[in-house]
């Protein structure tokens, strides 16, 4: 794939097509940094209705996107810098090391190399890459490989076109998460764990200024927390969803004798325990592969990051400082947005701030 040139644009739009909701961020590019013009969050499933992951169809996105752009007063046909992303089972990103190759040979060599590291059929693979560094002593190249399937790209393109949008840059969710963090956090050294907690899955990214890049998907999210509450508190979906939004992992103070999900002796582990177990496993793997255990902090992103008690639970179980990520640290915000630094906008912000 040919290298992309830097794009010159005055405004940008980042779209996060989440499984439960669509997030759109509209930024204006300044001489240094960005200014938030507007944003919108819309669910793709009506509140109070249980959404079954296997029943969610891509057709639901088009009408939602159309309504969002009308609300934001943006003409879809006039959006020049649109950045979106794909994620899930048919996407993969790996950091690899290879011998130095000139540009004209690198792309074809990486296609064959990718087959060893990425579980997508070669004939169905869409591949992109970025050279991170060239080691002075060995002349080896550290490269970030990103891949997805043609089928997923076609489905994604159709969604955007249905809403009158012309597909432009398509990223991978985990890269957008890292990009949002890099552009909106102050870090000097060490390794950081980023958890983008969505409705059905959690994007886990391990990133540091000089560290090896790592990402994986953990198959648990807000949907699973609601199902836990339904099962253990004998609630219907809407009641459990409202309970989750109000109390999270905590007890209802009006029912002090009810124990939290984390304390219940059950055969099936509660979602928070399952997520922590996957985090620990990933950290052990990372230390073994990268030889780096300088973990500094865990940052929570996504709608489920707002779950009461989750930040404290992860901090205790992983034994690392943990906090909710605020995605607008380096974005100028008009007064009306000051109190709306929503962590579920992190992915869309990372997309909108992508320069090339």
Summarize pLDDT for 316-338 with one digit per residue, the tens: 999 999 999 999 888 898 888 87
- Which 3-state string (H, E, C) describes the chain? CCCCCCCCCCEEEEEEECCCEEEEEEEEECCCCEEEEEEEEEECCCCCCCCCHHHCCHHHHHHHHHHHHHHCCCCHHHCCCEEEEECCCCEEEEEEEECCCCHHHHHHHHHHHHHHHCCCCHHHEEEEEEEEEECCCCCCEEEEEEEEEHHHHHHHHHHHHHCCCCCCEEEEHHHHHHHHHHHCCCCCCCEEEEEEECCCCEEEEEECCCCCCEEEEECCCHHHHHHHHHHHHCCCHHHHHHHHHHHCCCCCCCCCCCCCHHHCCCCCCCHHHHHHHHHHHHHHHHHHHHCCCCEEEEEEECHHHHCCCHHHHHHHHHCCCEEECCCCCCEECCHHHCCCCCHHHHHHHHHHCCCC
- What pLDDT digit, counting tens, does each position of 151-184 carry? 999 999 999 999 999 988 999 999 999 989 988 8
pLDDT of residue 8: 67
CA 95 to CA 75: how far, in whole Å?
38
Contact 64, 22 (CB under 8 A): yes
pLDDT of residue 123: 67
pLDDT tier at 124 (50, 70, 90 boundaries)?
Answer: confident
Structure-block tokens of residue 331: 């974005």
Q: Mean pLDDT across the stretch 240-245?
A: 94
- What pLDDT digit, counting tens, does each position of 250-303 carry? 887 777 555 555 555 555 789 999 999 999 999 999 999 999 999 999 999 999
pLDDT of residue 4: 44
30-39, 96-105, 240-249, range with the lowest pLDDT: 96-105
Average pLDDT, the chain: 87
CA 24 to CA 38: how far, in whole Å?
8
pLDDT tier at 305 (50, 70, 90 boundaries)?
Answer: very high
> What is the set of domains in the chain, with CATH numbers?
1-90+150-184+327-356 (3.30.420.40), 187-325 (3.30.420.40)
């Amino acid at each position: 794939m040919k290298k992309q040139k830097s794009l010159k644009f005055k405004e940008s739009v980042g779209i996060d097509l989440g499984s439960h909701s669509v997030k759109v961020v509209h930024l204006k590019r300044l001489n240094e940094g960005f200014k938030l013009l507007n944003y919108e969050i819309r669910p793709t499933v009506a509140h109070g209705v249980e959404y079954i992951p296997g029943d969610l169809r891509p057709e639901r996105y088009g009408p939602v996107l159309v309504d969002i752009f009308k609300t934001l007063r943006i003409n879809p046909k006039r959006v020049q810098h649109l950045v979106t992303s794909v994620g899930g089972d048919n996407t993969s990103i790996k950091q690899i090391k290879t011998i130095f190759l000139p540009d004209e040979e690198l792309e074809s060599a990486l296609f064959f190399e990718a087959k060893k590291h990425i579980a997508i059929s070669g004939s169905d693979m869409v591949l992109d890459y970025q050279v991170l560094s060239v080691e002075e002593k060995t002349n080896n190249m550290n490269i970030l490989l990103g891949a997805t399937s043609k089928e997923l790209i076609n489905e994604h393109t159709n969604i955007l076109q249905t809403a009158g949008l012309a597909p432009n840059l398509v990223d991978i969710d985990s890269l957008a998460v890292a990009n949002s963090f890099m552009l909106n956090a102050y870090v000097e050294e060490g390794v950081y764990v980023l958890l983008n907690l969505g409705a059905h899955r959690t994007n886990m990214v391990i990133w540091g200024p000089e560290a090896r890049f790592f990402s994986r998907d953990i198959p648990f999210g807000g949907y699973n927390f609601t199902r836990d509450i339904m099962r253990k508190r004998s609630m219907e979906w809407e009641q459990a969803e409202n309970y989750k939004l109000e109390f999270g992992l905590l007890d209802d103070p009006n029912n002090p004798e009810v124990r939290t999900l984390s304390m219940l002796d059950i055969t099936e582990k509660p979602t928070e325990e399952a997520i922590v177990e996957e985090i620990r496993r990933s950290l052990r793997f990372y230390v073994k592969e990268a030889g780096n255990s300088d973990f500094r902090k865990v940052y929570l992103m996504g709608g489920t990051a707002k779950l009461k008690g989750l930040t404290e639970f992860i901090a205790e179980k992983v034994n690392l400082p943990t906090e909710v990520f605020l995605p607008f640290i380096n974005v100028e915000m008009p007064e009306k947005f000051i109190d709306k630094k929503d962590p579920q906008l992190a992915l869309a912000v990372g997309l909108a701030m992508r320069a090339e």
